[in-house]
Structure 1
Amino acid sequence: MKLLRYGHTGHERPGMLDADGIIRDLSSVIPDLSGAALSAAGIAKLKTLDPTSLPKVEGRPRLGPPVAGMKNFVCIGLNYADHAAETGSPIPKEPIVFLKSLGALCGPDDDVTIPKDSVKTDWEVELAIIIGDTARCVSEDAAMSHVAGYAVCNDVSEREWQIERGGTWDKGKGCDSFGPLGPWLVTADEIPDPQDLAMFCDVDGMRMQDGSTRTMIFGVKKLVSYVSHFITLHPGDVISTGTPPGVGLGKKPPVFLRAGQVMHLGIAGLGEQTQNTVAYSE
């Protein structure tokens, strides 16, 4: 089942994608894709619906982030062995956890703004875990019961601010528009093995990243359990699980984004995103 939110920014409505790729409105069933709607019971209820009985959404509306009410936008750093190698970093012994500002969250095809004075804005295609039931100090064996589904995330990053400006990574990760998420939430039952998903990112039609979740150091079960011991995870929270090699920072010489470019990225079974990069304006 593919669940989504559509409409103008800040006024999105819940929807479902039917077998023909048509958006069906869920507003008469749930107020939004948040809270109880994302729980195991809520997802089970949505699965009983006949999509063709729901109102058809005409045209091609903007897609927003596929979840609402997020409390925590958690990211994992250096979680692919081959990506760690390209950056010259050692393999982490434990997951590297940082938080992305909730203000970074945006729709999958919204513009990405190159921040004022940025010179090293970069791309990162990532598998995002979407939490369905509250997770607090859960075991790895129980972790998957707290997962509503998965989505594509672009963990856009400003490398100078992340690495060269001192302190934590957060300052290079939380800029407005730095968290495109979607196009939809694919429920966990449709992704039997999240550790075997091909993923890619193109910039201006050139393949930059061509990887697989098979090379993740810490898998989905481990990450949900691990993070839940430090941060209570709530319905709609996201854990973005790291990126494969091919980021701009790892190129020789490094390559970074500028205004007027196009990023196109996707993960097998989860859909694709396209963002135009635009210059900062007051």
Structure 2
Amino acid sequence: MPYLFTCPHCHTRTEVEDEFSGQSGECVVCGREITLPNFAPGAGSRAAMTGSGKKRQRSAAWVAAAVVMLLLVGSSIVAIARIGGSTANRLRQGRERIASIKNLETIAEALNAYAADHGSYPPPAIRSRTGKPLLSWRVMILPYLGEEELYDRFNLSAAWDSNTNQMLSYQDMPVVYRHPDNQGWASDTPYHLVTGTGTLFPASGALGPKQVVDGATKTILLTEARVSSVWTEPIDLDFAVSAGRINTTAGSDFGGVTEGGVCVATVDGRGHFLSESTAALTVNALVTPRGGEPLADDVLD
């Protein structure tokens, strides 16, 4: 004869046959240890079990099976949620990478337009008459980004952190200079030139596309880098310090912005993604416009 029993832990009520009277085991719902009471003997004993009792026993078996099924389905849902979350994260990273590459290509187009008009790329910094760096090349190419009005508002004879220029830096940063993952009002930019001996931007003066011997498709013009700078500040990636490293914790190398590698743009204006496993020698060869280093045709594919 079945008796109603309530689990003292999860308070689930279920029917239990008197043949299990006094036995211990795990609750099928919460899994905690329970001990059944001694049920009073009655007419509905195991020996006199009716057909309806057997039906209830079969129903209890179906309930137990349903509980197991629910647990299995629940585990599957958790697994699917984890997989889905991982996939969503990869999709987000992919979208950010594509958006950053588009920013780099837009900036590279403006740099090449400037070079077409002036015969060379802009110097990394607008300098005072005494040679003091005042403003970044990013200000200099604003007219080539369709930002003539903003360009005209800058005081090109004052430093980037002067009152007027600093206010413009924080209030009017062009969207193309902001990384897709950088939300809000932040005025830092991850897009930098690579400067120094052997690069497109040596101390002796910026080169132009026609002076690139190694090929426009295999020479880096612009890169992501976690070099701390407001977009108007005349700071870029120092080739000698970076040593061709990608995504290290040094804070003075390539990348550090996009997970798994670094987005770059080459002299031909195309954007690419370099894995962080790329050898430093390969990165360095891509930076030098006249190094003559052998590079595979698919190095940037």
Q: TM-score, normalised by structure 1?
A: 0.29
Bigger RCO (CA 8 Å, 6+ sep): 1
Bigger proportion of residues as strand: 1
Q: TM-score, normalised by structure 2?
A: 0.28
Bigger proportion of residues as helix: 2
